[in-house]
Structure 1
């Protein structure tokens, strides 16, 4: 007992009950979902077997992966540009840009989604303006397809890309870039050979965050996709609320969970995750 006290601080006795409660409330539902995936409607791996036998499930799975990848690339590219501008602009302009960025977090995703419908819909502001100027003869199908889903998702995810990149860029020692220029390197050479590699942890962090969040998107694909772009989250909702196939829904949820854990594990093999998410190296 004395040896145990030397290795474990007595304060843990006060924290342990709350940790156990949080673990139970967090792990309990997850274990229940995994249990349903192998027991409903009958015990076995039948639900997971459907993933390889059902063309519709495979199509939904690959559609989700493709949209998430495109969303990640687009959001990180635009977020990197915004973060780079914020770091190198005047302090007053930076505060304005940061305020606008944070305001976007306070706007409901429903408001943003329906705003895009008003702007880019069949009779939206953009199509009406283009038709009025004689640029197009008939409305462009921006919405109710994969393009509309990507526009809405990238717009929503840009702030999530900017913040990790902004933190990473602000931590860089600008004297390294100044030394590069003093040694004769051009601005583009300094950026590609020094600045961009130093911001790799921020790029990885924002990419990982956006891809994981994109996997669970529900409102934006449902509204802007118009029922024509079905992603895993919406399909899970259909299985739970319409067809009542809880086992299939639990299987898909389990696959999403395993996919996220696998991504984190692979990432940990190449770099320290605490550094990626803002911790000390």
Structure 2
């Protein structure tokens, strides 16, 4: 018993610096934002009432959830295909897949966003090429809308979705797949009926990471959305730095943090955290 308590005390002492840092860097500022939401411009719940009744704020939340859901589905599906090649492909395929996964981490989010603008704008490479071959007569509107935001966010988040999937796939017992094949299952049926269900924890972990990242995205939607597809993070910025309406911006921030916390608590209720990685 004494040894157990000693180990617990040692673990607590080792974690204390990290907990103090997190408290100073995140918890204390967050409580300051909570205070703003109840006191600015005057004490009360007025800002939360505005949040619930303002059609603009509600439309931004709906748009954010819609874009986040689409980006999550597309990113996890693309990451799953890439991860299968990375984990179970030939040595050459693994090297190529690993290169494609790691290279995006070396490029800043700002550079990638402007790169998509150069590709998808009315005078960008994609529209110019389509017009040159006669496929279209007028340029397609691919940026300054939700499509451009989804493309840019998906491109950024695919690498983050890969790692929980890779962990799940590497821990899979190949003997189960061999048993399914030995019982007469085709490759495709083995994949959908055995392989995919056994990597469910990785899929949930990837989806959670991508969805939470998507809710707080700022730079990519601001550049590729062009102010026409405003998401929650950009709305908070506009309310605090341009309106200024610090109380409403703080209230939106608090609601967003609480929503993410509730989402993670719901996921962890059914899936243990160690299963997500």
Q: Same fold (TM over 0.5)?
A: yes
Structure 1 range deviating more: 151-160 or 11-20: 11-20
Is residue 190 of structure 2 the alignment partner of residue 190 of structure 1? yes
Q: What CA deviation, in whole Å up to 9, does each residue of 1:9-65 have, x standing for no partner?
A: 367557646643542333101111111111111222111111221110110110000
What does residue 231 of structure 1 align with?
231
Q: What CA deviation, in whole Å up to 9, does each residue of 1:170-199 have, x standing for no partner?
A: 111111101101011112221122111111
Distance change (3 Å), C-alpha of 1:5 and 1:214:
closer
What does residue 134 of structure 1 align with?
134
- Measured in 2, the distance between the counterparts of 1:4 and 1:189 equals 48
Distance change (3 Å), C-alpha of 1:145 and 1:27:
same
What does residue 46 of structure 1 align with?
46
Shift, 1:204, TM fit: 0.3
What does residue 118 of structure 1 align with?
118
Q: What CA deviation, in whole Å up to 9, does each residue of 1:79-121 have, x standing for no partner?
A: 1111112222112331232123111111011111111111111
What does residue 222 of structure 2 align with?
222
Structure 1 range deviating more: 166-175 or 11-20: 11-20
Q: What CA deviation, in whole Å up to 9, does each residue of 1:107-146 have, x standing for no partner?
A: 0111111111111110111111111111111101111111
Distance change (3 Å), C-alpha of 1:127 and 1:181:
same
What does residue 33 of structure 1 align with?
33
Give the alignment of 1:1-281 within 5 angstroms.
9=9, 12=12, 16=16, 19-276=19-276, 278=277
- Measured in 2, the distance between the counterparts of 1:4 and 1:96 equals 48
- Measured in 2, the distance between the counterparts of 1:212 and 1:227 equals 22
Q: Secondary structure at the match of 1:147?
A: helix
Q: What CA deviation, in whole Å up to 9, does each residue of 1:218-252 have, x standing for no partner?
A: 11111111111010101111111111211111111
Deviating above 6 A after TM superposition, structure 1's stretches of 4 or more consecutive aligned residues are: 2-5
The unaligned stretches of length 5 or more in structure 1 are none
Distance change (3 Å), C-alpha of 1:146 and 1:3:
closer
- Measured in 2, the distance between the counterparts of 1:227 and 1:243 equals 15
